[in-house]
Amino acid sequence: MSSDNPLLRLADSTELPAFDVIRPEHAEPAIDRILQRNREELTALLAKDTPSEWDALIGPLETIGDRLSRVWSPISHLFSVCSTPEWRGAYNACLPKLMEYGLELSQSKPLYQAYQALADSAAYPGLNAARRKLIDNALRDFRLSGIALPEDQQQRFKTISMRLSEIQTKFEENLLDSTQAWSLLIDDESRLAGMTESARAAARAKAEAKQQQGWLLTLDVPSYIAVVSYADDRALRETLYRAYVTRASDQSDHGRDHDNAALMEEILSLRHEMATLLGFANYAELSLQAKMAESPDSVEAFLLDLAERARARAQSELETLRAFAEQRDGLSTLEPWDAAYYAEKLKEDSLGLSDEMLRPYFPAPQVIRGMFDLVEQLYDIRIEIVDDQPVWHDSVTVYALKTPAGERFGLFYLDPYAREAKRGGAWMDECRGRRITATGLQLPVAYLVGNFAPPLPGKPALLTHDEVTTLFHEFGHGLHHLLTQVDEASVSGIRGVAWDAVELPSQFMENWCYEHESLSLFARHVDTGEALPDALLHKLREARSFQAGMATVRQLEFSLFDLRMHRDYDPALGGRIPETLARVRDQVSVMFPPAWNRFPNSFSHIFAGGYAAGYYSYKWAEVLSSDAFGAFEEARAAGQSLINNEVGRRFRDTVLARGGSADAMELFVAFRGRKPSIEALLRQSGLLETQEAA
């Protein structure tokens, strides 16, 4: 194979990946070459007698799949973190080719028959659990890809899949373009009264970067939160709120050509048609085939049960917030653009706590190192900076995971700060998966990406506590990928994990952001080095349940909207998106947005991400994670350390290390000794006391 294209070298390299030589023009030629090579090898493999032994079938298939993953991973990643027109063009040129190739595999009857022959063979019962799970998952996925459909329906299924891939990507592009199309230059600093010094400095730096005088406000999350949570100027808060919640919609005044409304309708229609082709009543039923939940109705029952427990508390919290705003400022009507502002003021008034009071205790480099110290103690690992790996931006740092003896077993890239042309939000993605190859063990590699406010010259970035929990959350995903001990790529790390269990390791990590033992590792004042005072820690723990009712019903609103939109879709009536959302809000919500709010148009989790008919996973995973953390709390109650190495290693070995090699419930029971209980979540969020009082 030619080495002119660095991506082609990467496909067969046993070295860890490098990014400095990868440019957009390398992408499409590399994908073309890899797909051609893979097709040739697949044809040769399946031309033989149907393989009925593991090594004869799965080994070559894993090599073929990994080769493509090595090339596509950096392309899709760089598209997200450097979304220039060049990278967008490269990504969009490659995506249809990958979709077509994936559908060829998923609808290949010879390949399906080879897997089925292996499942039916005398050797199958003797395979280890991970290998049997891989085969079972593959056969399930074949069935869900339409392998049994008549030829004309198979072709329609392929057309739907290709179109969905195209328009889901377009949804995300519209959202990014709409977000970046809007900005507001402020030339009078008095309008920024109430905002923090760091937020004003960041706005000033943005203006200077564009050769403008004043303060530039944008719709990236740090800028938006800085205004709606702290700006005293109510009109300014409303301006930012309106721009943010109307992105990619007909109500936007900053790029209506990016309206996602038609795409949303088409996405729902195509998903429903795909589900019915496969014999399901709706897309929600199809979505749950790879999840822990038994049925859409059982998911709805779970969500409504939580709503019943939380709504009275949420209503009381809202009434308290309204009364506070009226008493403080004579505000007769609390609008959505007021909620975060007065919540921050109420928290400061009632608890003596604010985000800005805590921020000096969370310098980003210190938090990152403390987070590493925590997991080193929990899981018997070492995390060290690696300086021999090229990166895509000078704010990216590379780290190696090592055994206590110093043997490297994983690598990850940390890209924490917001910048122009970078997709919003925070996420973890895999760069490479762990697997056994002909030359030895391939180590896992991950990307961890955030959008925190970047440091100002000469100063470290200071994180809010919410940003600290976000960092811990994404690192939890990373550890799930990196600590795996499974050697079969398809069920290694996060692969093959039930979607409603994949958030368990990430939400589990958030718990450590509220505990004295873990906070003492990193929560120290940026100027004085003083540890977070006990009084502030107590307030922080109290703040965890502050407005927990409102936060809970907000998440339930998202989850029920997602579920019902996919479960109740009617081709004759269309998506009924506004109507469905309105009915959900009437049932579970306590605060209602204005009619011009177009939240669904930016709900990329379900319209462009992997959470369609699965957004409930966040709440279900909270049940799992809070109960899992309870094992550490029980150790502390027994007089042991909360940062308990014995419990930590058990969590590592039963949950993190086994990835998708076993059913998620089986792994949870192996760790906890029983099935999960919702009581831990209710107690953690302060809702259990409400139920007991009732």
- Range 42-73 burial, b when 16+ CB lie within 10 A, else e: beebbeeeebbebeebbbebbbbbbbbbbbbb
How far apart are alpha carbons 267 and 170 in whole angstroms?
11
How far apart are alpha carbons 146 and 648 in whole angstroms?
42
Residue with tokens 């502390």: 636
User: In a 10 Å sphere around its CB, with 0-12 CB exposed, 13-18 middle and 19+ buried, how is residue 520 labelled?
Assistant: middle
Residue with tokens 């094992």: 631
Single-letter code of the amino acid located at 96? P
Of the candidates 515, 550, 554, the residue with the CA atom closest to the CA atom of residue 532: 515
Cα 24 to chain centroid, rounded: 25
How far apart are alpha carbons 453 and 91 in whole angstroms?
27
How far apart are alpha carbons 401 and 546 in whole angstroms?
36
Helix H or strand E encompassing 450: strand 445-452
Helix H or strand E encompassing 217: strand 215-218
Strands 183-186 and 435-437: unpaired
Residue with tokens 């994908």: 31
Q: Is 467 a catalytic residue?
A: no
Which letter does DSSP use for residue 176 in this model? Answer: H
Residue with tokens 């595999």: 105
User: How far from each other are the two terminal CA atoms of the chain, in whole angstroms?
Assistant: 70
Q: Which of 285, 317, 474, 510 is catalytic?
A: 474
Residue with tokens 């799970």: 133
Helix H or strand E encompassing 413: strand 408-417
Looking at the DSSP bridge assignments, the partners of residue 382 are 402
How far apart are alpha carbons 651 and 363 in whole angstroms?
29
Looking at the DSSP bridge assignments, the partners of residue 186 are 215
Cα 62 to chain centroid, rounded: 26
State how far the alpha carbon of 190 is from the alpha carbons of 145, 196, 201, 223, in Å.
58, 12, 14, 17
H, E, C per residue of 634-681: HHHHCCCCCCCHHHHHHHHHHHHCCCCCCCHHHHHHHHHCCCCCCHHH
Sheet with 427-432: strands ordered across? 382-386, 397-402, 408-417, 445-452, 427-432
Dihedral angle computed from the Cα positions of residues 611, 500, 379 and 531, in that order, rounded to the nearest 10 degrees: 70
Sign of CA dihedral 530, 535, 536, 537: positive
Residue with tokens 């995971």: 401
Strands 427-432 and 408-417: unpaired
Residues designated catalytic: 474
